[in-house]
Amino acid sequence: MRLVTLAPDLRVPALGQGTWRMGEVPSRAGAETAAIREGVALGLSLIDTAEMYGDGETETFLGKALEGLRDQVFLVSKVYPQNAGGARLERACEASLRRLKTDRLDLYLLHWRGSIPLAETVRGLEALVAAGKIRSWGVSNLDTDDMEELVEAGGAACVTDQILYNVTRRGPEFDLLPDLARRGMTAMAYSPVEQGRLPRTGALAEVGRRHGVSAYQVALAWALRRPEVIAIPKAATLAHVRDNRAAADLILSDEDLALIDAGFPPPRRKSALDML
């Protein structure tokens, strides 16, 4: 598994696991737990969640699903924007830690920008680092101008921006991804296969036929082609998580990439950052 450097002492797998809506249906908990644990065994040890997911239910689910594995995973969670400052930030972090049954988060993200000034959020996140409750911090759903403001507000220690990025959502390539790379920050791509809604015919299918893989595996390999991008697809079954892992080994040729570009053209102008 290719590793991506977040900070000098933080290297993570380029392919992790998303968990949106996991743990919300009790009858699925067994299969979801098995998928998460199999992913860790296969090297997909970065696990992403948020206090928003199931209003905390997903974090509670993960606290149980990851029992005995905490030291083998890189655990990421996200804070609501309304909780991202002052005492509320500390309380939100502590609540996530309790639900996840851990004493620290490896990475804590501002889920999206709200009304709390970025400078206040930065101060709170740095205080959590100093207290040992988080190892690093980042943001999610912030565009280029937001990132500029974040750095000006003292946020140069930000290690990643988690964004919606896939073959149908290529807007970040115009300026955000180059800007993050210039700052030495990674991009973490959520919904890298558009929650399973990508077309199953056309360029992705054609490239898949060449390699004997699915269109979704091609789309995931495409997202992983950039060295500064981490992808966090969700997989709720053993078969799905194994397919995702196989996609990390798929190398797309220049001809493959040209065909995908023809089917999903790269951006020619700035566009607003998409969110789900």
- Which residues are tagged catalytic? 53
Give residue for tokens 């149908």.
168
- In angstroms, the CA 62 to CA 236 distance is 13
How far, in Å, are 133, 190, 211 from residue 265 at the CA level? 42, 20, 22
In terms of C-beta distances under 8 Å and separation of at least 24 residues, what long-range contacts does 97-100 make, across chains too? 97/133, 99/56, 99/59, 99/60, 99/62, 99/63, 100/49, 100/59, 100/62, 100/63, 100/66, 100/75
Helix (H) or strand (E) holding 125: helix 118-130
The three-point CA angle 212-216-221 to 5° equals: 80
> Do 63 and 93 contact (CB within 8 A), yes or no?
no
How far, in Å, are 38, 128, 138, 148, 234 from residue 71 at the CA level? 15, 20, 21, 34, 21
- Give 55's contacts (C-beta < 8 A, 6+ positions apart): none
